[in-house]
Structures are given as C-alpha cells and as structure tokens.
Amino acid sequence: MAELQDSTPNLDESCFRPIDENSLFVAPRPKHAPRILLLHGSLRKRSFSRLLNEEAARLLHRLGAETRVFNPAGLPLPDDGEPDHPKVRELRDLVTWSEGMVWCSPERHGAMTGVMKAQIDWIPLTLGAVRPTQGKTLAVMQVCGGSQSFNAVNQLRILGRWMRLITIPNQSSVAKAFMEFDDDDRMKPSPYCDRVVDVMEELVKFTLLTRGCADALVDRYSERKESAEALSQRVNQRSI
C-alpha cells in the first residue's frame, strides 16, 4: 500500500517540491503597517457603500493599518478605455501597493453593481511579471436598501477566488443601510456596526499572518510545470 501511495509517475519530478515550512513559518515579517485598499460600488453623492468603507477605514487605522480609498468616478467601462487611462492607472497602482483589500458593493437587482464589477474587471491577473492580487487578503461587504441579503458578498467571494485573493471567512451585510447612518454620515451603534468591527479585525489579522509568506502560499506545482515547459519550448525551438 505504501508503494502505491508513493508512486506518482504522472508528476514532473523536476517541478514537484516538498512543502518548505521555513518559507511559511520563518519568513521575514514586514515591519510597516498593513496596506489596505478599499473599493466601493456606487457613485451616488450619499453612497452608503462608500460610507461603510469610510467606517471600515477608520477601524483599520485604529487597528494599525494604512488605508487608501479609491474613488471610481471617472473610471471608464472595461474595453471602453485604455489601460493607460489615468483612473485605470490609479486603480492598478493602488492594487499593486496594497497587501489587502475591502470590496463593498450595494446590492442592485439581486447582484453587485456595475460600478463594482467594472473596478474588478480593470484589475488584471498579471501586470508584466507581477500578479497584483495573488496572495493578498480580501474582506467583502455589502449594503442593502431593504432586508438583509447576501447575493453581492457571495458574488464578490467568487471574484476574490478568481483573482487569487485570500478571502477571509467573515463578511458584513447591512440591511436598510439608509437607517444605519446618522445625519453626519457616521454609522450608528448596532449589531451591524459590531460585525464591521469583527470583519476588519479579522482582515488585519489575516494580512499580518500571510503577507510575509504570500509568495510561498501561492507557489503552485502547475505553474512551475507550465513555466518549465514554456522555457523548454523557447530554448529548443528551431531558428526561423
């Protein structure tokens, strides 16, 4: 049975590696504050997804993080602009800068908004040799105009997985968001507010735990194998 378990003729042994525990547990720990980017999914003057992100940013500051909030106003639709558009460059630079993100969208017609999706669609899986999202952390939140729903956060989780982000288990969905903020646009004390605190605490913890070993966490056999095959083809190809 042991021979059967250890027999793996279908593997490329040059690309298969044992787990390097040192790269996970003894990796150098960055000393700077965790860098968190917050994206919201509404352009309204009184946008509750923006207001919720601003509350989250205040909490993140209290927890020792550095934050940036991206304003999606002026961002072109995907394929209706070029990657060198100023707002696209700004967004991509912020994603590259960040070590974690918060995505907060209203739920509209049972889904995230087009504003939210457009921002994510402008974030590429690769920028040259850099993968701007891979191995970084993500927290997802949504605001609802009516009763509590989880459609938007569920969709955001799918996108986070697709973008190879480490999406934390906790999340926030604020029902009747228009009732949860006062006249100064500050969130009122409530169980919804408490949950946002929980989510930000968890995000900072996961970011601190993973940012020093993110490269090791996302080092994949299939990609090492693909890279080796691509290199072999390039080196061995006949001159034209």
DSSP 104: E
Measure the N-to-C terminal CA separation of the chain; round to a whole number of Å.
51
CA distance 119 to 112: 12
Q: Which long-range contacts (CB under 8 A, 24 or more apart) does 87-93 make?
A: 88/122, 91/119, 91/122, 91/123, 92/122, 92/123, 92/124, 92/127, 92/132
User: Considering the domain boundaries, does residue 12 fall inside one?
Assistant: no
Q: What is the pTM of this model?
A: 0.88
Taking only Cα atoms into account, the Rg of the chain, rounded to an integer number of angstroms, comes to 21
User: pLDDT value at position 186?
Assistant: 96
User: Considering the domain boundaries, does residue 25 fall inside one?
Assistant: no
Q: What SS3 state is found at 120?
A: helix
User: pLDDT value at position 205?
Assistant: 98
Within 10 A of 1 (CB to CB), how many other CB atoms are there?
5
User: Considering the domain boundaries, does residue 40 fall inside one?
Assistant: yes
pLDDT tens digits for range 116-165: 999 999 998 877 666 889 999 999 999 999 999 999 999 999 999 999 99
User: Considering the domain boundaries, does residue 21 fall inside one?
Assistant: no
User: pLDDT value at position 235?
Assistant: 52
User: Considering the domain boundaries, does residue 158 fall inside one?
Assistant: yes
Q: What SS3 state is found at 156?
A: helix
Question: Do you know the residue count of the chain?
Answer: 240
The domain total for the chain is 1
% of the chain exceeding 70 in pLDDT: 91
User: pLDDT value at position 239?
Assistant: 46
User: pLDDT value at position 106?
Assistant: 97
pLDDT tens digits for range 152-206: 999 999 999 999 999 999 999 999 999 999 999 999 999 999 999 999 999 999 9
Q: Residue 15: is its pLDDT beyond 50?
A: yes
pLDDT band, very low/low/confident/very high, at 240 (cuts 50, 70, 90) = very low
User: Considering the domain boundaries, does residue 142 fall inside one?
Assistant: yes
Structural domain boundaries, residue 156? 32-236
Tell me the DSSP string of 60-94: HHHTT-EEEEE--TTPPPTTSS-TTSHHHHHHHHH
CATH number at residue 117: 3.40.50.360
User: Considering the domain boundaries, does residue 26 fall inside one?
Assistant: no
